């Protein structure tokens, strides 16, 4: 049996997690299974809401089963109950018996319907926030977006001024000065940036504000409207555009070679991703299937007075048309939007992902992303990261890679991408932590494979650096800066 204990730091810190290890091993050894075909993986899932039960089983094609345990929640189980709870959970995991009702067939992670839930959250954000009384920012690391940190914004704008002064001195500064923000949320990031820009521009005295064109791009027109209102005092300097962040070139082609800054915060961790694993030297794709467990089916059917089939069809309808229209189309179940949002929240809380490992015939047959011109990036790009780490499971960050590679051509030769987000900065980290997926309120979060972005950018002639977000020490947020190499 292989045993993979990932949460190194948390094991040091948590006596409860350490003392769960003995009962976990006991429960696995007592299970009716060939131990030589078992893998035991222990994680520490930092997201209070997530897609896993405390113990789950994952079939590894042809070779056995992986038992995956969340040590954090094992540590929460009363010591006297631990052995019994784990024994029955392991037995259930091995019998493939998590039951429930599937919301989709088996698919690659990026294809899962959890991303439709995620998009719905941004399309109907106000309805969700009204129901919870919480703004989405409160779920972000630190409780608010780091893009609102004045000191960091100040530094960034002064660097832009230095570049523009320099280009101007060489008569090479274009008349229009473009800045693009992707994933605008409530517009607070834009307001902080633009208000500070005006203040610093007045002090600097070069009248750059007159020439500034700040473009806000997001796939949710609801969010865009809201963000636009937040910066309405900046008038014509701001435009709001519907942009799919994973394909920025589709709507922003006109910006090619012109953007001095592409400014992104807390978006890459919200884009669809696959996972690839190396197990005993063989490559696998992690396939997922979203489902609603039996217990939640019972609760939801009782609460809404429907049978399980009707419940599944209402979930499908919710994902297609959103809570407002769902209430209009099924008023007997949902007399108002609030009731439909309560349904949505109940379903989202219940959604779990089961997983299985399916062999990958070769990394070159796996498509990481495809550009607008049809150029394919294959899994070969992952090889150095996977080969360096032995048995490991990594995010491919497909959405972030597509977004990033689609954004680089928009940059002015001296422009930069600046991005505050949850990045892994070394492939080694995948061996010692859990990096998603987790649930933030109604959205999905996965840390982003930074070394992979770095490799991809290097191939395109860009240098990528990562620095801890200096203005909030101890934060998990890291700043990526990408610029053309000299």
Q: Is 266 in the site for ligand SAM (CB under 6 A)?
A: yes
| Cβ proximity to ligand SAM, 208 vs 263, nearer residue | 263
Out of 112, 149, 230, 270, the residue judged to bind ligand SAM by CB under 6 A? 270
183 touches ligand SAM by CB under 6 A: yes
26 or 195: CB nearest ligand SAM: 195
Binding mask 78-117 for ligand SAM (x = CB under 6 A): ----------------------------------------
Among 218, 275, 296, 441, contact with ligand SAM (rule: CB under 6 A): 218
User: Three-state DSSP class for 456?
Assistant: helix
> At closest approach, how far in Å is the CB of 123 from ligand SAM?
8
Tell me if 145 contacts ligand SAM by CB under 6 A.
Answer: yes
Q: Which of 40, 108, 147, 212 binds ligand SAM (CB under 6 A)?
A: 147
Residue 48 has φ and ψ, to the nearest 5°, of -55, -40
By CB under 6 A, tell whether 223 contacts ligand SAM: yes
Check the CA dihedral 235-239-242-244 and report its sign.
Answer: negative
Q: Give the number of other Cβ atoms within 10 Å of residue 12's Cβ.
A: 10
Q: In whole angstroms, what is the distance from residue 398 CA to residue 401 CA?
A: 5
Q: Does 219 bind ligand SAM (CB under 6 A)?
A: yes
Q: CA distances (Å), 346 to each of 275, 299, 317, 349, 369, in order?
A: 27, 9, 15, 5, 33
Count CA atoms closer than 13 A to 292's CA, side-chain side.
Answer: 24
Say whether residue 441 binds ligand SAM (CB under 6 A): no
Q: What gap in Å lies between CA 426 and CA 446, rounded to an integer?
A: 15
Under rule CB under 6 A, residue 122 binds ligand SAM: yes
Q: Tell which one of 50, 65, 149, 246 touches ligand SAM (CB under 6 A).
A: 246
Tokens linked to 289: 């299937």
Nearer CB in complex with ligand SAM: 444/457? 444
Instruction: Choose, by CB under 6 A, the member of 50, 65, 149, 265 that binds ligand SAM.
Output: 265
Question: Which distant-in-sequence residues (6+ apart) come within 8 Å of 240 by Cβ?
Answer: 184, 215, 216, 217, 218, 224, 225, 227, 228
The 3-state DSSP class for residue 127 equals: helix
Question: Is residue 120 within 8 Å of residue 319, measured between CB atoms?
Answer: yes
Rounded Cα gap, residues 393 and 56, in angstroms: 16
Residues that bind ligand SAM (CB under 6 A): 122, 137, 145, 147, 183-185, 189, 218-220, 223, 243-246, 265-267, 270-271
């Amino acid at each position: 049996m292989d045993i993979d204990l990932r949460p190194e730091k948390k094991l040091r810190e948590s006596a409860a997690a350490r003392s769960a290890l003995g009962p976990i091993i006991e429960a696995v050894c007592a299970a009716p299974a060939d131990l030589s075909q078992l893998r035991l993986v222990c994680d520490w899932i930092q997201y209070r809401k997530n897609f896993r039960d405390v113990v789950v089983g994952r079939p590894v094609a042809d070779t056995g089963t992986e038992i995956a345990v969340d040590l954090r929640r094992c540590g929460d189980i009363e010591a006297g109950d631990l052995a019994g709870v784990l024994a029955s959970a392991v037995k259930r995991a091995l019998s493939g018996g998590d039951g429930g009702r599937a919301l989709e067939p088996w698919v690659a992670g990026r294809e899962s319907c959890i991303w439709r839930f995620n998009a719905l959250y941004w399309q109907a954000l106000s309805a969700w926030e009204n129901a919870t009384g919480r703004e989405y920012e409160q779920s972000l690391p630190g409780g608010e977006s780091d893009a609102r940190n004045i000191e960091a914004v100040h530094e960034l704008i002064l660097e832009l001024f230095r570049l523009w002064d320099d280009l101007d001195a060489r008569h090479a500064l274009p008349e229009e000065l473009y800045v693009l923000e992707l994933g605008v949320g409530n517009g607070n990031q834009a307001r902080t940036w633009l208000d500070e820009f005006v203040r610093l521009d007045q002090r600097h005295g070069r009248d750059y504000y007159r020439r500034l064109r700040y473009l806000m791009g997001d796939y949710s027109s609801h969010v865009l409207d809201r963000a636009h209102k937040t910066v309405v005092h900046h008038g014509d300097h701001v435009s709001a555009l519907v942009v799919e962040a994973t394909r920025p070139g589709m709507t922003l082609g006109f910006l090619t070679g012109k953007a001095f800054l592409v400014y992104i915060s807390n978006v890459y961790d919200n884009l669809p991703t696959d996972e690839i694993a190396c197990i005993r030297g063989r490559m696998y794709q992690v396939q997922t299937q979203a489902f609603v467990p039996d217990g939640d089916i019972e609760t939801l059917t009782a609460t809404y007075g429907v049978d399980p089939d009707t419940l599944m069809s209402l979930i499908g309808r919710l994902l297609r048309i959103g809570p407002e229209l769902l209430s209009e189309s099924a008023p007997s179940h949902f007399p108002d939007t609030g009731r439909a949002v309560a349904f949505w929240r109940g379903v989202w809380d219940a959604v779990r992902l089961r997983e299985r490992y399916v062999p990958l015939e070769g990394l070159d047959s796996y498509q990481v992303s495809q550009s607008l011109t049809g150029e394919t990036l294959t899994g070969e790009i992952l090889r150095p990261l996977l080969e360096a780490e032995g048995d490991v499971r990594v995010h491919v960050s497909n959405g972030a890679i597509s977004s990033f590679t689609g954004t680089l051509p928009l940059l002015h030769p001296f422009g930069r991408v600046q991005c505050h987000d949850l990045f892994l900065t070394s492939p080694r980290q995948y061996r010692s932590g859990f990096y998603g997926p987790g649930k933030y309120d109604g959205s999905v979060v996965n840390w982003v494979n930074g070394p992979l972005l770095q490799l991809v950018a290097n191939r395109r002639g860009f240098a990528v650096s990562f620095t801890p977000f200096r203005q909030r020490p101890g934060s998990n947020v890291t700043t990526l800066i990408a610029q053309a190499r000299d």
